[in-house]
Structure 1
């Protein structure tokens, strides 16, 4: 679609901004309400609840361009008021707090300015809104203005007293900087961008679950624990998992790696097809992590080599036991069976880890396949001869 008047881009940006800004809200005010939970599109654009009851509703408005002026006649204002009059029991003094969060700037001398924290005057805000409700002729706000005037005098004041306006909210392109600022205490030196990317991934997955209704809200404590867990992956005893299983297309990888030596090695011992496909995924993830960890300076080549040597040593011990149990005149079927058992046994081993607290099993499994790919280890009793033929190199 071109840049015509019916472009959906502003609305799409607005929805994305609402989702991203919710993370700012979570980080910004979550510490002051540790027992609360934040939701998306449940009670309002964004909302806080405690013990299953909404305590604050937030309408989030984004406008492309520089901070524009927000006045009392703005459609945003009256649409927001109508949502709250319809959904938030405007006459109830014990109802949830109401916040209009906008990238625009509240114009001086307006009701919206009188509802900003730094210049709050609820009586003046009520008076100015009543004036606009009576004098404006805008058709788009007509129903909302009539509904506002239909509230009793005391109810209008109660309603207005629950409202606050947060103007000059950051634009969508500035939200990431806001999140970074609020997470400054957790940034791992030298890995700030990777850490923030992992936080954003966690939040995007959480936000999707909230929007799909899979998850009702995100508890402040759970959010703090999730971010702390991400930060913990950057300690000397741990490492971050950067490629999740859900990121991988197993079918495509199978086609890409089907002729690799480590795959051929598994064919030589008749490894089951579905487990072979999973092994290819392990190989890809382990290889990708090795490269990215090195690129991000999260691990050194010496440390990876030491881990590989430990895996080779473990394999040497078990491979010799396998050979020792085979008869001298064992046929290929017996060798296949023994090799398959060895492969299954070693892939199930979880005692060896690249770091003491990094225990995601895919990495050790994938590293074994990487070693098998170079011919350093194998499963079939005659793998060395077959690898030499496969790679056309002398043994």
Structure 2
């Protein structure tokens, strides 16, 4: 595998044009461009999975070009991506989109980073006019000689100051190298914009899962791809995103949706702010037990995870409200057995110290038990957090006198509502 070194400075940076008068590119435009780059990379990868060799392929971002695809034993495919909000415009012969891309490719070939056999692809949301340079370098019906002649004329006669560095580099190349460069270039006009790419991805995965699971599958796949892309970029784009990892992630998400319920990493990884929950009843329930602050924080974390994950399942129609009602009924029944058994063991007339001991025993049961909400969903946070959700409504409790001690909190909440 040929190691890919990043070209700094002029090369590899995606540009985004926004048709808004004479304003310069803004931070929002750049962010949109990078998101477009990441989305196009995912779409292209999905389209190649079924046709790739047994060895698969690798995807690089921000190295020799915006997006680079590498398969073992084949030339690289380098993509320059140009996203424009005005998709009705056409590429002109002096378009900076063309000549900035040429400059990157010429410098890459001169340094040896881009091999002569590598395929150079300019993908743009703009169209092409008949007879233009771009129209002569499409994937089909090519006129490389005509394109080369027009490029030489443009480089010699154009007054576009932005393109002068590219014009200079191109004209300095020997004619044979100019011809070889042009033969490697493919223009892909009329590409989907960032919103349309999302629809294209959805279309690509439509048969991967059941129709009612498509949105759930898509949101998790794009979330994983975005995280993988960010890690790839943070690491300096040295380690690729591999097609085998993409395929494995697709298989894992599909399996979760078919045989279980997905427990999402963004929810598990979320850092909870304790101060937002200090007045919640379930926190007061935990504090009645006399546990330390770290265990109280763990209760808040589990409450957040269960509440957010269950809400997401309902929004995505992965579970019905009735299913959650049955699950909560099961938890209440299991809690009642433990609670009543503890009362019987200690007695109904408890001293304060015995009451606290009972509460600690029951709370230990909360922390160590796990009641799956669905087959193959055994993350204990969902079980613990669901019990804390019930404790927040005083449907269950840990202290033998939790109801009388905390009833005023429930009443004040009801009045506030």
What is the distance in 2 between the residues matched to 1:7 and 1:156?
A: 31
Superposition deviation, residue 209 in structure 1 = 2.0
Identify the residue that residue 354 of structure 1 maps to in structure 2: 373
* CA 1:230–1:204: 2 relative to 1, 3 Å: same
1:58 CA drift (Å): 0.8
Give the number of equivalent residue pairs. Answer: 388
Q: Match for residue 124 of structure 1?
A: 146
Is structure 2 residue 40 aligned with structure 1 residue 21? yes
| CA gap 1:380/1:122 in 2 versus in 1, 3 angstroms | same
Q: Which residue number corresponds to residue 151 of structure 1?
A: 173
Gaps of 5+ in 1: none
Distance 2:303 2:29 in 1: 42
2:330 corresponding residue in structure 1:
310
Kept in 2: contact 1:19–1:207 (CA 8 A): yes
User: Displacement of 1:49 after TM fit?
Assistant: 2.5
Report how far residue 60 of structure 1 moved: 0.4
CA contact (8 A) 2:86 2:126 kept: no
**1:279 corresponds to:** 299
Where does structure 2 lack aligned partners over 5 or more consecutive residues?
1-19, 413-417
User: Could you state the TM-score of these two structures normalised by the residue count of structure 1?
Assistant: 0.86
Helix, strand or coil at the partner of 1:357: coil
Distance 1:143 1:257 in 2: 59
Deviation at 1:330, TM superposition (A): 6.0
Aligned residue for 2:13?
Answer: none
The aligned runs of 1:186-335 (5 Å cut-off) are 186-213=208-235, 216-235=239-258, 237-241=259-263, 244-245=266-267, 248=270, 250-251=272-273, 254-323=274-343, 326=346, 331-335=351-355
Contact 1:114/1:125 (8 A) holds in 2: yes
Structure 1 position 168, deviation (Å): 0.8
Deviation at 1:362, TM superposition (A): 1.6
> Quick one: distance in 2 between partners of 1:37 and 1:347?
43
Please, what TM-score do these two structures have when normalized by structure 2? Answer: 0.82
Structure 1 residues 4, 105: closer, same or farther in 2, change over 3 A? closer
**2:388 matched to 1:369?**
yes
Residues 284 and 366, structure 1, Cα contact 8 Å, conserved in 2: yes
- 2-side partners of 1:213 and 1:392: how far apart? 53
Partner of 2:78: 57
Secondary structure of 2:45 counterpart: helix
Match for 2:164 among 130, 142, 150?
Answer: 142
Instruction: Tell me if structure 2 keeps the 8 A contact 1:93–1:158.
Output: no
Q: Judge which range, 321-330 or 116-125, deviates more.
A: 321-330
Deviates more, 1:20-29 or 1:316-325: 316-325
SS at match of 1:62: strand
The Cα offsets for residues 128-182 of structure 1, whole Å up to 9 and x where unpaired, read as 3223233334332222222222222322222222211111111223221111111
Cα contact 1:47–1:54 (8 A) shared by 2: no
Shift of 1:93: 6.1
Which deviates further from its counterpart, 189-198 or 327-336?
A: 327-336
1:47 to 53, 68, 82: 68
Q: 1:83 to 1:246 in 2, by over 3 A?
A: farther
Residue matched to 2:205: 183
C-alpha distance in 2 between matches for 1:89 and 1:232:
48
